[in-house]
Structure 1
Amino acid sequence: MGCLISQLAAKFAFFPPAPATYQVKKRDDGKLVAVSTQSSMPIAVDDASFDVLSINTKRGNKIIAFYLRNPYARLTVLYSHGNAADLGQLYDLFVQLKANLRVNLIGYDYSGYGASTGKPSEYDTYADIEAVYECLQTEYGISQEDLILYGQSVGSGPTLHLAAQLPRLRGVVLHSAILSGIRVLCQVKYTFCCDIYKNVNNIRKVKSPVLVIHGTDDDVVNCLHGNGLWKLAREPYEPLWIKGGGHCNLELYPDYIRHLCKKGQSVLPASVVGLNSNDPNAQNVTIRVAKGAASGPNVQNAHNVVRIASHVSNLAA
């Protein structure tokens, strides 16, 4: 019975946009560029701070990642997206996250998403995030001490998988995260061997600070998931429980925004979070997300990341 439910959980875990919202092409100089499938225009034109990467995984796939560097940054965010978006929908978000929070950011598409090869599966997402982390180390010299892992919804699975292996991470953010795949479908007391994304086990292995954010009225992933992960964390950070918040609308609540801004400014100087700084690239937090990137009950809401990341900056203290 447990394995049957696990198969159902896996079936509902992945919804890559079809067709993908971008393609990857190689220029004459060998540099990779991402091109929107809607406009046929490059996603970023002559932007030296933006890299399109093709990364080999140990499971034989080539996954695409976007790396955005900020010359003022001292932290890097490794962002694992939800189950129904790809990088083409999230680029504008990444640009504003980089500018407003003064971080480097790398986002990647799981195997079978966007222009990444293969098919999505639990173990492929694990191989995917491991390959991205290795790339950060070898290509950009990023150490785990300066890295924040961020995972939303299904993205919490690969995030906790990697976090459990890196004891000196700056921090982990779990937004609308799941305890496990089976637990999204039904309430069970025990973890089946064939369950997917056993976050309920991995969270116990994470030694870095963990920030949990969840809406109390989330009808896709019940708030009990976030509460359970928070209680199991070895070093839990003050959680954010958004009264009335759902799975995709947390940014609509004024108390939520005020709380994040308060936390972002009270723990660190404004220069760290990009507020009132001298960074010429810093902008007001105005999010532009491609149509379809943040709609539907199974789609991670890209708007949340910028505001959540303001709160993430507390982890740097």
Structure 2
Amino acid sequence: MNGLSFSELCCLFCCPPCPSRIAAKLAFLPPEPTYTLVSDQTGSRYSLHLTERAEWQYTQKELDCIEVFMTRTTRGNRISCMFVRCSPNARFTLLFSHGNAVDLGQMSSFYIGLGSRINCNIFSYDYSGYGTSSGKPSEKNLYSDIDAALQALRTRYGISPQNVILYGQSIGTVPTVDLASRFEVGAVILHSPLTSGVRLAFPDTKRTWFFDAFPSIDKVPKISSPVLVIHGTDDEVIDFSHGLAIYERCPRAVEPLWVEGAGHNDVELYGQYLERLKQFIHTELDYLY
């Protein structure tokens, strides 16, 4: 039945219905925080302090381009947000949902480098339980976290939805797909996406079980924005077949980027990565709209 062994089927229907293989592969992995947010005397403004483990690669000038603050989610958690001003004339802002085992401190240098190269500002946030965000990481919190991030981006900076590009990487594609399925934005970029938790643990699964975690494959058909899918063909964490399946179900998918030989964490090192992003953001979106 769907290629599963008897023992695996028994595992699927264990109580609680969360197979150990899924939990092991999809466990949230928040690192020890690599930054702190220090508030002023009023408690309304924060400054970013990075630890050595953040591996900051730039100067104070670039650090001054980063604004940080806290916002509250509908589930009661306070999440850390980061706005990286990379370009004074940027048309688009990427709402970036990062991967599993990193936080905003570790991502800050990457955001500076990426935004300056593709002429976009970048807004990012730490999931509940990551960095200095309160609460614990969970699927439901992921969805409320990105909702709060988008709300903060719109109200604090006045950026209209058509100028927002949702960018999700790895586990970050889960909240990205969920938001994009409910809310139209300028575009969506899915970098190493997964179809669902059960499908990741049991590759031969053909259906979505009632207890499946992160069922992105069932949500992508509802995305009305243009979608660019990026995936390495040798991804050892989320198999390339996931990216292909997501691409095939997106109603407005553009030409994907399949990076030959790339794994899960090195797609950005290939030259075609930046070139494809720039083409999509600065050429194709003008044509699509």
- Report percent identity of matched pairs: 38
TM-score computed with the length of structure 1 as normaliser: 0.77
Preserved contact between residue 110 and residue 124 of structure 1 (Cα < 8 Å) = yes
Q: Deviations over 1:103-153 (max 9, x none)?
A: 121011000000000110011010000000011111111111111000111
Shift of 1:312: 4.1
- Unaligned runs of at least 5 residues, structure 2: 1-10
RMSD of aligned Cα (Å)? 2.5
Query: 1:101: which partner in 2?
Result: 118
Aligned mate of 1:135, from 149, 152, 155: 152
Would you say 1:174 and 2:198 are equivalent positions? Answer: no
Separation in 1, partners of 2:237, 2:213: 17
Structure 1 CA distance for aligned equivalents of residues 116 and 274 of structure 2:
17
1:144-293 alignment, distance < 5 Å: 144-167=161-184, 169-187=185-203, 188-253=205-270, 257-258=271-272, 260-261=274-275, 263=276
Q: Is it true that 1:14 corresponds to 2:14 in the alignment? A: no
Q: Secondary structure at the match of 1:164?
A: helix
Larger relative contact order (Cα-Cα within 8 Å, sequence gap ≥ 6): 1
Give the counterpart of 1:124 among 127, 141, 146: 141
Structure 1, unpaired ranges of 5+: 264-307
Change (3 A) 1:259 1:142: closer
* Secondary structure of the corresponding residue to residue 200 of structure 1: helix
* Structure 1 match to 2:7: none
Equivalent AA in structure 2 for residue 16 of structure 1: P
- Which residue number corresponds to residue 35 of structure 1? 49
Cα deviation per residue 1:293-317 (whole Å; 9 max; x = unaligned)? xxxxxxxxxxxxxxx4664444532
Aligned pairs, number: 267
d(CA) in 1 for partners of 2:132, 2:273: 37
Contact 2:229 2:256 in 1 (8 A): yes
Counterpart code for 1:103: C
Q: Shift of the alpha carbon at 1:95?
A: 1.6
Q: Is the 8 A contact 1:75 1:148 kept in 2?
A: yes
Cα distance change on mapping 1:243 and 1:166 into 2, 3 Å: same
For residue 24 of structure 1, the aligned residue among 29, 37, 47 is 37
Q: Answer yes or no: is 1:86 the counterpart of 2:100.
A: no
1:274 aligns with none
Whether the 8 Å CA contact 1:260–1:311 is kept in 2: the answer is no
Q: Aligned with 2:219: secondary structure?
A: helix
